[in-house]
With several copies, the nearest count.
Chain A
Amino acid sequence: MVRKAKKIFNDPRNVVPEMLDGLVAAYNGRVKKLDGVNAMARVDIPAGKVALLIGGGSGHEPAYHGFVGDNMADGAALGNVFAAPTPDIILEATRAIHRGKGVLYLYGNYAGDILNFDMAAEEGIEVRTLLVRDDVACGPVENRRGIAGAMLAVKIAGGAAATLDTLDDVVRVTSRALENIRSISVALYAGSIPETGEFTFELADDEIEIGMGVHGEAGVWREKMVSTDTLVDRMMEFILRDMPLQRGEEVCVLINGAGSTTAMELLIANRRVLQVLAENGVTVHECVVGSLFTTQEMAGFSISLMRVDDELKRYYDMPIRSFGWTKW
């Protein structure tokens, strides 16, 4: 018999709209739900602002829809759990946030998301698309999935879209962020899909998989449990091989929990990540530790680095206020 997840829901088929209601409420008046679709928008988008739309499948809370707010995204389109939002949802959200200066679509590099966002982009509003491809576990960059590093990209894009006058400029700055973000993840056990209650993959009790994707897509290798330090060292090797950092360069760090991994484990991993960076002479501009991009109750974590310079730091340092990440 398949082991089923133990969770509290009402009707598992209604998780997305019910969650969205609770989420909009948890924004305490700063966002509103859009009528008839699973999408939301800030209530106070200034006229003439370049708009930023993010989105993807649900089940990764607080990503993506937890990152709408001041100096963050203007709206989010929500799909069902692990499924891209449909074009009509994306289009409604696009219309709701457009202020005449065009809309940047920023989301992860998944076939389903691309197909749906692209179809919505054909409806007349000026749209530019940037894909997050931060997962170094997937070979060449075109193949790379968007994982937790996406949150760093949203941070920069949000700052840029709040400050810069044209869609072109926002695209330019966000592209620079994307080029400098790398992530790698590790999974200990899977999260489950509410509608079926089934876990999306199986790992033996003493096995971990390095590089596994946020829906259970295959990683680079499986191995027996290792210590935090050994594991972090290997993960950092992957990142630093792909984006070698010179002594004196600066990075922002995100240690992201996959869902049920404790803050204690994340903080111990953070400690080691910072040690490795220090050994390499790399300066840490800021480190963030939390479960920002989850896969339901999956266990595991990811390390994301964003190499920053003065321009990227300017946007990174802006205060933000959203459900999933607030900073001042």
Chain B
Amino acid sequence: MLLYLCEQMIGHTDTLTQADKAIGDGDHGIGMARGFEAVRLKLEGGSFAALDELFKAAGMALITSVGGASGIIFGTWFRGGTKNLAGAATLDSPALSAWLVDGLAAVKERGKTKPGDKTMVDALEPAAAAAEQAAAAPLDEALAAATEAARLGMEATKDMVASMGRAKTLGERSLGHPDPGAVSTYLILRSLWEYTEKSGE
């Protein structure tokens, strides 16, 4: 599943580059590509018994390879989200919920961000809430709900004025563009959902 995610995110390089060019410095696409390439190498290089080890390794790979703001932020999501995953063997709905809820908390602490700051938090927060609500549903439904919530959250960042990261000095000029990190957040969840759909067929 994570391998599929890596492939997908590497494939989205250009989308993310354009998103970051609009209101940032244009490196988010290659940063994420570099990061998920590192995750892929890490996954191929080792075997991971438990889900939390897998996500921790992925998070660490992101932190040490992406650079910029998003390496820490996305790495912290992956790593911080493992707090209550000990023992989980594969991703199921409760694990998804725990991963997103705890990941969100870790990101907010590390990034000192609140919702409305026009960051990936604005996509991750609704996604975490949706996954929490769907914790009893089958995984594909929970992922579908989280993905859709992330998409709406991402769309909503278009109407926000950035107050964090490189876009903050843009002020009003950041209006109309989604936050690149929010786009990534949506794409990450969508990839996981797609994978579940495909493998469930």
A binding-site residues for B, Cβ under 8 Å: 57, 79-88, 110-112, 115-116, 119, 137-139, 143, 145, 193, 195-196, 198, 200-201, 213, 215-218
A115-B72 in contact (CB<8A): yes
Among B50-58, B94-102, B129-137, B160-168, the one that faces the other chain is: B160-168
Among B26-34, B83-91, B144-152, B189-197, the one that faces the other chain is: B26-34
B7 in contact (CB, < 8 A): no
Q: How far is the CB of A203 from chain B (nearest CB, A)?
A: 14
Contact residues in B for A119 (Cβ distance below 8 Å) = 63, 72, 110
Q: Closest 4 CB pairs between A and B? A: A215-B25, A83-B67, A112-B69, A83-B68
User: Among A112, A143, A200, A215, which residue has its beta carbon within 8 angstroms of that of B67?
Assistant: A112
CB-contacts of B140-182 with A (<8 A)? 164-171, 173
The distance in angstroms between the C-alpha atoms of A115 and B112, with both chains bound, is 10
A87-B64 in contact (CB<8A): yes
B binding-site residues for A, Cβ under 8 Å: 17, 21, 24-27, 29-31, 34, 63-73, 110-111, 164-171, 173
B67-A196 in contact (CB<8A): no
Contact of A86 with B66 at beta-carbon distance under 8 Å, contacts A195-B30, A198-B21, A217-B25 already known: yes
A200-B63 in contact (CB<8A): no
B17-A57 in contact (CB<8A): no
What are 24 A-B contacts defined by CB distance under 8 Å? Answer: A57-B68, A82-B68, A83-B27, A83-B31, A86-B63, A88-B63, A110-B166, A111-B111, A111-B168, A112-B69, A112-B72, A115-B69, A115-B73, A116-B71, A137-B169, A145-B169, A193-B30, A195-B30, A200-B25, A201-B21, A215-B166, A217-B166, A217-B167, A218-B169
The distance in angstroms between the C-alpha atoms of A119 and B173, with both chains bound, is 31
Q: How far is the CB of B42 from chain A (nearest CB, A)?
A: 14
Contact residues in B for A111 (Cβ distance below 8 Å) = 69, 111, 164-166, 168
Contact residues in B for A218 (Cβ distance below 8 Å) = 169-171, 173
Contact residues in A for B110 (Cβ distance below 8 Å) = 115, 119
The distance in angstroms between the C-alpha atoms of A57 and B67, with both chains bound, is 8
Contact residues in A for B64 (Cβ distance below 8 Å) = 86-88
Q: How far is the CB of B25 from chain A (nearest CB, A)?
A: 4
User: Among A84, A87, A201, which residue has its beta carbon within 8 angstroms of that of B69?
Assistant: A84
A193-B71 in contact (CB<8A): no
B169-A80 in contact (CB<8A): no
Q: How far is the CB of B133 from chain A (nearest CB, A)?
A: 30
Q: How far is the CB of B189 from chain A (nearest CB, A)?
A: 22
Contact residues in A for B171 (Cβ distance below 8 Å) = 218
Contact residues in A for B27 (Cβ distance below 8 Å) = 80-83, 193
A217-B170 in contact (CB<8A): yes
Q: How far is the CB of B41 from chain A (nearest CB, A)?
A: 14
Q: Which residue of A lies closest to B34 (CB)?
A: A80
Contact residues in A for B66 (Cβ distance below 8 Å) = 83, 86
Q: How far is the CB of A272 from chain B (nearest CB, A)?
A: 24
Contact residues in B for A81 (Cβ distance below 8 Å) = 27
